[in-house]
């Protein structure tokens, strides 16, 4: 942010008008795509199935790999959502921040488990396997009820769209977890 931008924002605040985020400052770039790709690779390495357990016929394997991929993307998305001022956060950017922080907090144990030779190294993955998809489903429902998906796309900052998209991608996995929970109970 340049000095003129800060001065203009201060002048707008003192005049009592609301300061809306400038979309030009928050948009998708090649650097962000590279960061998301690195996050996806880290997620598959740390949260995914061990290299020797490739089972494409098993639906649980695909579910774990998709969850690992989204955890990595959420971890990378933390870098986009964290610098965003709190007064400008809406449902999408708040979800990106929460999912990124949740993944970051479980990153050290996941890294320890990923590089340990023991076969019972799935405690962190099991936690993320249930929590993140359900959180994505709940956020997507809340955003749908709130009308966040219906807002005009061109006025929405990229971080907001990223968070809503992340919640929407996690929602089918959340429905899958809910179906499993209901099957166990009933």
Give per-residue pLDDT as tens, 118-168.
555 567 777 888 889 999 999 988 888 888 777 665 677 888 889 999 999
pLDDT at 21 over 70: no
* Residue among 177, 161, 178, 27 nearest 95 (CA): 161
Residue 11 domain-assigned (yes or no): no
Better-scored residue on pLDDT, 126 or 171: 171
Q: Is 0.95 surpassed by the pTM of this model?
A: no
Cα gap 105→37, rounded to integer Å: 20
Residue 55 domain-assigned (yes or no): yes
pLDDT at 50: 74
pLDDT at 154: 63
Residue 161 domain-assigned (yes or no): yes
How many structural domains comprise the chain?
1
Better-scored residue on pLDDT, 1 or 111: 111
Cα gap 97→81, rounded to integer Å: 5
pLDDT at 71: 92
pLDDT at 18 over 50: no
Residue 6 domain-assigned (yes or no): no
Residue 115 domain-assigned (yes or no): yes
pLDDT at 23: 43
The first and second tokens of residue 21, run together, are 């985020």
Residue 171 domain-assigned (yes or no): yes
pLDDT at 14: 56
Range of the domain at 158: 26-185
pLDDT tens, 30-78? Answer: 888 899 999 999 998 888 877 777 787 888 888 888 998 999 999 998 8
Residue 160 domain-assigned (yes or no): yes
Distances (CA, A) of 26 to 42, 109, 127: 24, 32, 32
Residue 116 domain-assigned (yes or no): yes
Average pLDDT over residues 156-183: 90
């Amino acid at each position: 942010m340049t000095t003129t931008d800060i001065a203009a924002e201060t002048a707008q605040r003192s005049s009592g008008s609301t300061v809306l985020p400038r979309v030009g400052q928050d948009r998708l770039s090649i650097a962000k795509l590279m960061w998301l790709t690195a996050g996806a690779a880290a997620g598959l390495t740390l949260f995914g199935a061990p290299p020797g357990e490739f089972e494409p016929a098993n639906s649980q394997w695909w579910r774990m790999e998709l969850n690992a991929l989204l955890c990595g993307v959420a971890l990378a998305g933390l870098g986009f959502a964290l610098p965003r001022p709190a007064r400008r956060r809406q449902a999408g950017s708040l979800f990106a921040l929460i999912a990124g922080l949740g993944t970051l907090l479980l990153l050290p144990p996941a890294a320890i488990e990923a590089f340990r030779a023991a076969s019972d190294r799935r405690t962190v993955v099991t936690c993320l396997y249930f929590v993140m998809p359900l959180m994505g489903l709940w956020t997507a429902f809340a955003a749908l009820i709130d009308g966040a998906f219906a807002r005009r796309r061109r006025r929405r900052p990229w971080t907001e769209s990223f968070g809503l998209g992340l919640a929407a991608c996690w929602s089918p996995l959340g429905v899958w977890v809910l179906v499993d929970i209901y099957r166990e109970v009933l």
